[in-house]
Amino acid sequence: MKIIMLGAPGAGKGTQAQMIASEKGIPHISTGDIFRANIKEGTDLGKEAKTYMDQGKLVPDELTVRILLDRVAKDDCKNGYVLDGFPRTIPQANVLDEELAKLNDHVDFAINVDVPDENIISRMSGRRACPKCGATYHVKHVPPKKEGICDKCGSELVLRDDDKPETVKKRLGVYHEQTQPLIEYYTGKGILRTVDGTVDPKDVYAAINEILAEV
Ligand code: ADP
Ligand code: ADP
Ligand code: ZN
C-alpha cells in the first residue's frame, strides 16, 4: 500500500504516518526527517537544504526528488510506504506518478489531514521532536511519558529551529501557494480522502483506518 499524507505544517501528518507505519508494517518516509538527519551529520545535502529550511522555504524539487526516489528504491519499500511531507509541489507529484507508472504501480490514497490555520501556530510552538528517531510530541496535547524525553528511544526532545512563530507563518504561506494545489491534483485522480485533523490523534487515526480498509 502506498499512501501520501497531505496537510499544512503541523496538521499531524507525521503523527498519523507513524501510527499507520507501525500498524501496517510499512516504512514511514519523511523528507523533512531525511533533511534533518543530513543537517545533523553535516553532509553537503544537509548544508544545502538548511539554507532553505531556515527560511521556511521549500528545498528545490530537483534535490528533493532525487532523495525521495533513492529512498523508495530500497528493499524495505517493496510492500509499500507512507510518505509524509512529499510531494509538496505539483512537479514532485508528477515525478512520483511517472516513476510509479514505469513500475506499473500507483499511489493508493492521498490523505488530507485538515486543520485550520488558526490552530497551527499554537500546535507548532508546543511541538517537541526527537532528533534521533523522528517521533513527535506536544507539550499539552501529546506529552511524552517523561517530560522532555522520547518514549520510543530515550533521547532528549528538542524544539525545531523552523518552528518559531515567524517561520511557521512563512511555511503556512508556502503551503497554501505550493502544496495546497495537490488537493485538487489528487481529487482529479480519485484518490484524495480528507479527515478532520482537529480531533484527538487516535480519532484521526480511526478515520484514516476506515479509509485504508477500502483497498
Ligand atoms: P512539517 O512536518 O512541519 O510540515 P517537514 O519536516 O515535513 O515539516 O519539513 C520541514 C522543511 O523541510 C520544510 O519546511 C522544507 O523546507 C523541507 N522539506 C521537507 N519536505 C520537502 C519537500 N517534499 N519539498 C521541498 N522541501 C521539503
Ligand atoms: P506535521 O507532520 O503535519 O508537521 P506533526 O505530526 O509533527 O505534524 O504534529 C504537529 C504538532 O501537533 C506536534 O506537536 C504533535 O504532537 C501535535 N499533534 C499531532 N496531532 C494532533 C492532534 N490530533 N491534536 C492535537 N495535537 C496534535
Ligand atoms: Zn526517539
**Mean pLDDT value across residues 182-201:** 98
**Mean pLDDT value across residues 161-183:** 95
Predicted TM-score (pTM) of the model is: 0.95
Q: Which domains does the chain have, with CATH numbers?
A: 2-212 (3.40.50.300)
- Looking at residue 214, its pLDDT comes to 81
Q: Give me 176's grid cell.
A: 497554501
What gap in Å lies between CA 79 and CA 87, rounded to an integer? 19
Query: 123 and 15 in contact (C-beta within 8 Å)?
Result: no
Residue 134 near ligand 2, beta carbon < 6 Å: no
Residue 13 near ligand 2, beta carbon < 6 Å: yes
- Going by pLDDT thresholds of 50, 70 and 90, the confidence category of residue 173 is very high
**SS3 label, residue 5:** strand
Question: Hey, which residues does 112 pair with through a beta bridge?
Answer: 6, 194
Residue bearing the CA closest to ligand 1, atom 3: 9
**Mean pLDDT value across residues 15-23:** 96
pLDDT tens-digit readout, 30-84: 999 999 999 999 999 999 999 999 999 999 999 999 999 999 999 999 999 999 9
Choosing from 160, 164, 169, 170, the catalytic residue is 160
Which residue do the cell numbers 526528488 mark? 65
- Looking at residue 100, its pLDDT comes to 96
Q: How high does pLDDT run on average in the chain?
A: 96
- Looking at residue 56, its pLDDT comes to 95
Mutation choice for ligand 1 from 51, 88, 159, 161, CB with most ligand atoms inside 8 A = 88
Residue 145 has φ and ψ, to the nearest 5°, of: -60, -45
